[in-house]
Amino acid sequence: MQNKVIVLSVIGVVLVAGLASYATWQLGFLDRKNIELKDYGVAKDFNLTNIEGERVLFSAHDGKVRLVTWIYTHCTQGCSTIGLKVINMIEKLNEDGYGDMVEAFIIDFDFLFDNSSTLTEWAHKMAGETLPLNIEFLLGTEREINQTARDWNFYYKYVNMTEMTETTETNSTSMEGHMEHSIVWVHPFIVTFVDTNGTIQHYESGLTWDYNDAVDVVKYMVDN
Amino acid sequence: MRARLIIVLSLFLITNVSATPYEITVQGLAGEDIKLSSYKGDVFLLDLMATWCQPCAIQTRDFVQNYKELKDTLTLVSISVSPASDTPSKVNKTKYESGATWTFAIDTYLQVFDEYNPSILPTLLLFDVAGNLIERWEGITNSSTILDRLNSTKDRVTFPLASFLIFITPMWAVRRSYP
């Protein structure tokens, strides 16, 4: 009798633990799909220049869901990662039939060192020979970038690493992966999601955000 | 008795089944599909990279230098997760120039990117023989770190056996109680 109780208890505990794990997983899954968007206010308009030399007005794309992110071409890991994520998101959305309803704006805020040719090179390096039609790679003058950054609450600051490395001991191995790293801007990694009416509804910040979730958010914004 | 056996075995299977990478398909450099299920039964390392990624080139160089030791213990596959930019010929050029001899592929269907969401390149994913992800490294990682981790991994194959014994023991006890 005692054995029976022990055995049934063990099986019971295992069963309850299994069901609890399954339920947690399911709830997490549902929660992930239950996308909540907030009203973060109206996105301010901007007018910048793309790599073809054409002026691009943000509001000219009203009616589309828009993604806005910020990079500079000498940035090593972070900007490449965020660029890759946005480009892969657009590729995925295009493949899934959302291409006509979505536009991405990748703004190069390094008005000091970047120009049309460096950004064009970066764009092709990241997105291939044929750039997706619904991604704009944008540049601006110092005044335009400062204004746009202020309007979009984007913080950035140039750090002169050349002066810093002169006074800091480094070894060649540790700096090997940071070629061209004398140009450093301190800035956040952020993607802003703007709905078809021009309202900011979602942000992804940092580099570890979930790519699938972000794609789902855009699809949800298009469908609703 | 048979019913109890089925319940116990089902519980064992439910609690031991986890997502594996075997459903994922990538594209080989000759344009062919490569299913990761073809690495079933191997310890394998996915090196998520891109041809434009400078740290990835350093990682590849480290792999080339240590490939003799690595290939004895694992199967290495480098996968470009930047299919928009990385054509087979571009990846092939990177492979050729680095002197790498292992398989390179492209995440054309973005299935690897979907599943493992790399936040930095290179990202290395180490899988055991059962397809369980047992380690994830982000950024350049020495081959020696991977080899050290693999030595500790050998103990992991005993986990399914141990967990099976945990489930089978109560059944054995029931059997003993009701001969």
Q: What is the DSSP string of B116-146?
A: H--SSSSEEEEE-TTS-EEEEEES---HHHH
- Least confident piece of the model among A83-87, A105-109, A180-184: A180-184
Report the mean per-residue pLDDT for chain A: 86
- Can you tell me the distance from the alpha carbon of A13 to that of A18, in angstroms, rounded to the nearest whole number? 8
User: Which amino acid type is present at position B76?
Assistant: L
ipTM for this prediction: 0.72
Separation of alpha carbons B81 and B118, rounded Å: 9
Answer yes or no: is B178 within a domain. no
Could A87 and B87 be called an inter-chain contact, meaning their C-beta atoms sit closer than 8 Å?
no
pLDDT tens for chain B, residues 1 to 179: 556 655 555 555 544 444 679 999 999 999 999 999 999 999 999 999 999 999 999 999 999 999 999 999 999 999 999 999 999 999 999 999 999 999 999 999 999 999 999 999 999 999 999 999 999 999 999 999 999 998 875 545 445 555 566 666 666 666 666 65
At A177, is the pLDDT very low, low, confident or very high (cuts 50, 70, 90)? Answer: very low
Answer whether residue B94 is part of any domain. yes
Distance from CA of A143 to the nearest CA of B (A): 31
Beta strands (DSSP E) in A1-134 are 47-50, 55-57, 65-71, 102-108
Q: Within a domain: residue B149?
A: yes
Chain A positions contacting chain B at CB under 8 Å are 3-4, 6-7, 10-11, 14-15, 18, 76-77, 80-81, 84, 87-88, 91-92, 124-128, 132, 176-177, 179, 206-208, 210-212
Domains held by chain B: number? 1
For chain A, what is the largest distance between any 2 Cα atoms, rounded to a whole number of angstroms? 85
Higher pLDDT, B78 or A12: B78
Instruction: Find the mean pLDDT for residues A33-37.
Output: 73
Q: What tens digit of pLDDT does each residue of A104-134 get?
A: 999 999 999 999 999 999 999 999 999 999 9
In a domain, B179, yes or no: no
B119–A3 C-beta distance less than 8 A: no
A164 — pLDDT class (breaks 50, 70, 90): low
Model confidence over B103-145: pLDDT tens digits? 999 999 999 999 999 999 999 999 999 999 999 999 999 999 9
CATH, residue B13: 3.40.30.10
**B2: in domain:** no
Of residues A195 and A35, more confidence is placed in A195
A11/B84 Cβ within 8 A: no
In a domain, B74, yes or no: yes
Residue B87 touches partner A, C-beta closer than 8 Å? yes
Q: Residue A10: what pLDDT? A: 73
Position B13 in a domain? yes
Q: What's phi and psi for B69, nearest 5 deg?
A: -75, -40
For the whole model, what pTM was predicted? 0.76
Chain A nearest-CA residue for B82 = A84
The radius of gyration of chain B's CA atoms, rounded to the nearest angstrom, is 20
Residue range of the domain that includes B112: 7-173
Q: Is B158 part of any domain?
A: yes
Note the pLDDT of residue A18: 66
Provide the pLDDT for residue B55: 93
Task: Name which residue leads in pLDDT, A77 or A138.
Answer: A138
Q: Quick one: average pLDDT of A157-162?
A: 82
